Structure 1
Amino acid sequence: MGSDSNRTYYDLPAAYRYSLLGIYIIVFLGGIVSVAMMIGVLKSNIRSVTTLAVVNLIVVHILFLLSVPFRIYFYAVNHWHLGTNFCKLVSSLIHAHMYVAIIFYVVILVARYVNFFQRPDRMEFYRRLHALGASLAVWVIILCVALPVTFENYGQSKDRNETLCFNFGGALKNPAVVTINYILSAGVLLTTIGLACCQLYILYCVYKKYGQSSFSHQEFWAQIKSLCFVLVMVVCFMPYHLFRIYYVSNYHPDLEMQNEVFLAVTALSCFDMLTFLSRPGCRPACSNCCHF
């Protein structure tokens, strides 16, 4: 192979840097606005499964947004001065943000699907302590399993340029890392496709029930909001995981830049909170449609 096939990208192309810089600036500013507006309208019933998931989503977004200025800094100056370990922490947060957000999207959508088919008054934990325990379990898995695994397997290459950040593709030489990536990508893709099919079926059921008058029913708009979460998963997460399978299968240092662009697109999921800000008025006949 020629020398170009063995290089790591020490000089990031300007178009690539500026594209990522623009994406992360939009994510940072828009994410702050989205989360701030959502906090102002959040309901207080923390025992509701969907409300609890939304609260956790807000926390996930806030933690990730704290790391975004460091990404903006790196792509603005094209140099990393903050050490390899801090780089790995910042890099880990965008992955943690993506997968934890997916977990809570699934919780929200499954809870709504159960509400649609079984019509309970509301899915709730019996006590707030139970709700706190469920949230804590997810965070323990992330903090005690996912992050340590990331630190252990990424950024260990001796020929890494420590003046750069987010270039951990060399870890894909480890078969275990490759396997984990395949499993995660396949799991996200299959989950997203399954949720999309279920949501389309529910919309079909609603349309079949109400016909041409569907647009005037709260239930229809409640399902449109659920569809918005599915669309976030399709638009923000599916492209990254589809490319990730190709990237892992055909790893080359030149592909790291494309991988980072697809990864940056996942951060646009921070805008998901805007879904709740245009809720149509609730009607007494459809109380189940009006909670989170």
Structure 2
Amino acid sequence: MEWINKTTLSNASNKDLGHCDGHCRTILITLYGGVLLGGTAGAITMSCMMLKRNNQSMIAMIVLNIIVLHSILLVSLPFRLSYYVLVVWEFGFFTCRLVSGIIYGHMYFTFVFYVAIVILRLLIYFKKLQMQQFQKYHVVVLCISIWMVGSVIFLPFFFLQYGINPIYSEQRCFEFYKDLNRREFVILNYSMIVIMMTTVVTLFLIQMGVIVQLVKALWPDLWAHQEYRAQIKSFFFLLVIVVCFIPHHVFRVHFIQNYSETGNSELVLYNEIFVALTTVCCLDMLCFIGGVIH
């Protein structure tokens, strides 16, 4: 009897999740599964390498914070995989909110730390900041400030606003896009889109200008110069943002404008995939270890 009830519940949930059919779930399981395996391998290996080298530079300290962020996200991915495999959420509504919130918290915190690396290297390049003047405690203060400011903004929003609508079911999860019918969420989303897009475009143009100048000045022995390698690493972090975060925010504009009017299930499917794409940034450490950035 219990088996029959569970099967009925699963079938009902599958019907309710019509926007995410078997093909959709296969894509999401593949994406999250690959990120879980690759991200875990990258985080562990990079952590071991940093411990062996005992690197206490400002960039290394920020990278350590990024590894912590990746680790928090990776811990939440088995819950997502379980949901898309079983098509039933079995961990309670608060856990659903938490797992769903982690993916967005991870994206925006990681974005801030990526931007911090890029800005610090640009300040050093333009002689606005001297490495000798930048002590370890400065980096510690910077990282703690990012965590505290981000938490002050994110936690009250999560506990007081995110996913509190009574329409959500205990057996389904990751449907908080329905909150986009609320005006304050639309404003919040548009604000985050504008901030991220403006920041990325500005830094991308400055970074490309710096790289072009260095190419002209140092050609042909580019890789022999540490300054050039440092700017290429910064460009890599910007590239990760462009590949992993920007598609989600560009699509978000289209999603906000069309979902509330049509309830288009296809838009929901694409939204889930773009959200999953943001987690691919967890593979950044594998790129370093694999020699993409030397």
Distance 1:222 1:143, change over 3 A: closer
Q: 1:10 aligns with which of 17, 39, 54?
A: 17
Q: Pairwise mapping of residues 276-291 of structure 1 onto structure 2 (< 5 A)?
A: 276-277=288-289, 278=291, 280=294
Q: 1:107 aligns with which of 116, 120, 134?
A: 116
Q: 2:146 aligns with which of 138, 141, 149?
A: 138
Partner of 2:252: 244
1:160-214 deviations in whole A, cap 9, x for unaligned?
A: 2321110012211111111000000111111111121111111100111023333
Note the C-alpha offset of 1:152: 2.6
Bigger mean CA offset, 145-154 vs 258-267: 145-154
The answer to whether the 8 A contact 1:9-1:253 is kept is no
Distance in 2, Cα, partners of 1:122 & 1:177 = 41
RMSD between aligned residues: 2.1
Q: 1:116 aligns with which of 117, 125, 133?
A: 125
The answer to whether the 8 A contact 1:53-1:108 is kept is yes
Q: 1:67 aligns with which of 70, 76, 79?
A: 76
Q: 1:154 aligns with which of 139, 147, 162?
A: 162
Distance in 2, Cα, partners of 1:125 & 1:73 = 45
Q: 1:197 aligns with which of 188, 194, 205?
A: 205
Q: Pairwise mapping of residues 197-236 of structure 1 onto structure 2 (< 5 A)?
A: 197-236=205-244
Q: 1:87 aligns with which of 85, 89, 96?
A: 96
For 1:243, give the aligned amino acid. Answer: F
Distance 1:57 1:276, change over 3 A: same
For 1:240, give the aligned amino acid. Answer: H
Distance in 2, Cα, partners of 1:209 & 1:19 = 45
SS of the residue corresponding to residue 126 of structure 2 reads helix
Partner of 1:58: 67
Note the C-alpha offset of 1:9: 4.2
Q: Gapped runs of 5+ residues in structure 1?
A: 1-7, 281-292
Partner of 1:5: none
Distance 1:200 1:127, change over 3 A: closer
Distance 1:273 1:206, change over 3 A: same
For 2:17, give the aligned amino acid. Answer: Y
The answer to whether the 8 A contact 2:41-2:286 is kept is no
Distance in 1, Cα, partners of 2:135 & 2:207 = 28
Note the C-alpha offset of 1:245: 1.3
Query: Is 1:270 paired with 2:275?
Result: no
Distance 1:258 1:220, change over 3 A: same
Distance 1:181 1:124, change over 3 A: farther
